Structure 1
Amino acid sequence: MLAFSKMARFPGLLQTRATLFLTRNYHKQPIEVVWKKPEHGWTKLNFDGSRKHGQASIGGIFRNHKGEFLLGYSEPIGAATSTVAEFAALKRGLELVLENGWTDLWLEGDAKIIMDIISKRGRLRCQEAKKHVNYINVVMPGLSNCVLSHVYREGNRAADKLAKLGHQFQDPKVWRLQPPDIVLPIMHEDAQGKIVLRTK
């Protein structure tokens, strides 16, 4: 890319690039994102990882076909990459799936790389990530019905809140009857089918 001083010598180039930039942004339409309920009899897990100052935490939330809360979790996992945090969040969710005996499961996260690696059996260099993926690849086929999908972050807000909440804890947290207050407004909006616009 040309430095500004050089671009000033070529006003035509500057104008063309500026026009192109404005055109791209002007025509970019917001995307409507909605959290979708699972089918009757299915359980949906939204999971997410969070990383702040080199430290990672994870979170997830289980809901039924009405969008009602079933279970939530949040915990710090120490120093880790964002990718490892995403895999750890899914792995922890699957551990809770087995504990609760859920079989018809919809798994949903906002990190597309997770979906690509698991669905395409992609290679990983990180040993910590490999450990999580190996567990996931063993558990998922053992469930009666299990689907994995990607959603934009705007459709994963409840899990995102729980993942970020994990930075405040020293030990793992699991909510079984009532979710933490921080996710109640989001859960209500999700259940009502609120459209959240993605502008990025």
Structure 2
Amino acid sequence: MEETPTTETFHEEMLHSLPREKGWTDPYIYLFQHIWCRQPHIKAIISFQKHFQAKHDDIIIASLPKAGTTWLKALAFATAKRHRFIPSQNDHPLLNSNSHTLVPFFELTIYSDNNPNYVDPSTLPEPRIFGTHIPFPSLSNSIHNSNCKIIYICRNPFDTFISFWHFSNNMILSQSSQSLPTLTLEEAFERYSEGKHPFGPFWSNILGYWKASQDKPSKVLFLKYEELKADTKFELKRMAQFLDCPFTQEEESGGIIDSIIELCSFGKMKELEVNKSGKIPDRRIIENKHFFRKGEIGDWINYFSPEMTEKLSKVIEEKFDQSAWSHPEEEWLKVNVDGACKSGTTERASCGGVIRDHEGRFLLGFTKNLGYCDVISAELWGIKMGLEVAWEMGARKIVIEMDSTYAHQLVLSRVQELHPCLSLVNAIHQILARQWEVQIVHVLREANRVADFFASCATHESLDLVKFVQPPLDATHLISADANGIGTIRGLAS
């Protein structure tokens, strides 16, 4: 997180120094910490980062605006608080309060200057549940350093845009001193497709939490709105398990999961009096009814022109392709490699990888027990073994991919004489100098998951290289998903 001024030092001069663009519900939005923000959000984010102290049992509900936030907050509240508030009881808080009141936003409510009903977060009953639209890298240090849980919900950007466009115009129309015209679909679309919208760019927000969920699966749970709609019961059980409060067999057979789903259903919440006529007390210009429009999947098709569909599809493909396994060109082979270490220091380590053709077909897998070494050496061993195996099978045009930024930089740069990995890097350079074409590429972890599988399946009984001419059964679904673009960030956002 970049260093920021405190709330006390925030002033107009700083605001004027920030890049700005036309706003959605305000004259301008400003680029702050790589986030497009309304002016009030900037001060709130600074205050949140400085003052919020996370507790280990806190729950953070994160999302882009209009991505299913209202629904997920209700589900999380009902699940985490089910022993205090029985979901079937007639006086359940969700029957009398909007979920945004029960699960307040950091930047829009708790740390907002416009909050007339401030609640000290330290006084809230545990487990405390909060909401945020702030991207993962800009969360407070106390959240990053604690064992609190984060649940992120991602929705198809096409539907998210349409929902946010309607919501923004409703906000403009509900202001007593309406000084801005409502946004046309076309002008809102241009800003959205460029990532110039509150808490955008949308691709950065999504990718930040997606990558965190891959790196820290016990801390960040990444949900898809469409999957939550398709099988709410399954996803709710997964969420409860993640929160360390799994449903018991007695609860499930007693219907408590079904009660939570019914309590939090879109139709149920939309028809509640509090959500038909009430207002969020901390954000007085927003009527609760504006949080409930349709909640449908695919409604965007009723608004988008073919040109808009093509443009946003290209943006999504360009921005999210970096995190998906991509097919090499015809006549080229792709070698994905990885190193695995029991811990981040010197422990039992292994390396492995997989070789596939331009159609994503499995050609060869390999794994090797390395004995005791550090994680960077394991990554470099994976690169070395991947190159050697590819050469031995006759490949002369390869793309070799790895998810270690440091190992990638070591291979591409000159290593100092005293560097502990000098001999390994030199051995890699000698293989690269052979008569063949090699592209060395860094990818995100989710684009390297099959290599991670092979790196982790080495036995510690032998130091021999083990080759697989057929993929292990447990790896077939990953290989198939990569080949078909299923289960990647691209798949969930397009």
What is the TM-score of this pair, normalised by structure 1?
0.82
Sort the Cα spacing of 1:30 and 1:143 in 2 relative to 1 into closer, same or farther, 3 A: farther
Deviates further, 165-174 or 54-63: 165-174
Rate the CA distance shift 1:16–1:102 in 2: closer, same or farther, 3 A: closer
Relative to structure 1, the CA distance from residue 197 to residue 123 in structure 2 (aligned partners, 3 Å threshold; closer, same or farther) is farther
Instruction: Measure how far apart 1:197 and its partner are.
Output: 3.5
**1:65/1:121 Cα in 2 relative to 1: closer, same or farther (>3 Å)?**
same
1:110 aligns with 2:403: yes
Amino acid at match of 1:35: W
Listed one character per residue, the Cα deviations across residues 77-96 of structure 1 (whole Å, up to 9, x for unaligned) are 01100000000011111111
Alignment of 1:4-153 (within 5 A): 15=48, 17=50, 18=52, 23-25=134-136, 27=199, 29-31=205-207, 32=320, 33-52=323-342, 54-123=347-416, 125-127=418-420, 129-153=421-445
Equivalent of 1:182 in 474, 477, 482: 474
Asked whether the equivalents of residues 43 and 105 of structure 1 are also in contact (C-alpha less than 8 Å), the reply is yes
Deviations 1:86-137 (A, max 9, x none): 000111111112211211010000001112112122337454x222211111
Greater CA deviation, 160-169 or 24-33? 24-33
CA contact (8 A) 1:104 1:143 kept: no
Name whichever structure is richer in strand by fraction. Answer: 1
Distance 1:124 1:49 in 2: 24
8 Å Cα contact 2:415-2:422 kept in structure 1: no
Letter in 2 for 1:192: N
The CA deviation at 1:196 is 2.2
Q: Per the alignment, do residues 195 and 134 of structure 1 end up closer, same or farther by CA in structure 2, a change over 3 Å counting?
A: same
1:46/1:60 contact within 8 Å kept:
yes
In structure 2, how many angstroms separate the alpha carbons of the residues matched to 1:16 and 1:82?
Answer: 32
Q: Secondary structure at the match of 1:149?
A: strand
Q: Is contact 1:75–1:169 with CA below 8 Å preserved after alignment? A: no
SS in 2 for 1:40: coil
| SS of match in other structure, 1:166 | coil
2:324 corresponds to which letter in structure 1?
V
**Counterpart amino acid of 1:194?**
I
1:165 maps to which residue? 457
Task: Give the number of equivalent residue pairs.
Answer: 185
Bigger CA drift: 83-92 or 97-106?
97-106
Q: Which runs of 5+ in 1 are unaligned?
A: 1-11
Q: Aligned equivalents of 2:49 and 2:400: distance in 1?
A: 45
Task: Look up the SS of the partner of 2:325 in the other structure.
Answer: coil
Equivalents in 2 of 1:108, 1:95: separation in Å?
Answer: 14
- Does the residue aligned with 1:94 lie in a helix, a strand or coil? helix
Paired-residue identity, %: 28
TM-score (norm 2): 0.35
SS of the residue 2:401 aligns to: strand
Aligned mates of 1:166, 1:126 — CA distance in 2: 27
Q: What is the DSSP-based 3-state SS (H/G/I as helix, E as strand, rest coil) of the residue aligned with 1:142?
A: coil
Query: Which range moved further: 161-170 or 148-157?
Result: 161-170
Displacement of 1:14 in angstroms is 6.6
- Tell me if the contact between 2:337 and 2:401 (Cα under 8 Å) persists in the aligned partners: yes
Q: CA deviation at 1:187?
A: 0.5
- Tell me the residue number matched to 1:194: 486
- CA gap 1:49/1:55 in 2 versus in 1, 3 angstroms: same
For the aligned residue pairs, the C-alpha RMSD in angstroms reads 2.5
Q: Is the alpha carbon distance of 1:179 and 1:15 closer, same or farther for their aligned partners in structure 2, counting shifts above 3 Å?
A: closer
For 2:340 and 2:48, the matched residues in 1 are separated by 40
Deviation at 1:47, TM superposition (A): 0.1
Q: For 1:15 and 1:49, how far apart are their aligned partners in 2?
A: 38
Indicate how the Cα distance of structure 1 residues 16 and 112 shifts in structure 2: closer, same or farther if over 3 A, else same: closer
Structure-2 change in CA distance of 1:146 and 1:55 (3 Å): same
Using a 3 Å threshold, how does the CA distance of structure 1 residues 190 and 14 change in structure 2: closer, same or farther? same
Structure showing greater radius of gyration is 2
In structure 1, the residue matched to 2:97 is none
> Does residue 155 of the first structure (1) align with residue 447 of the second (2)?
yes
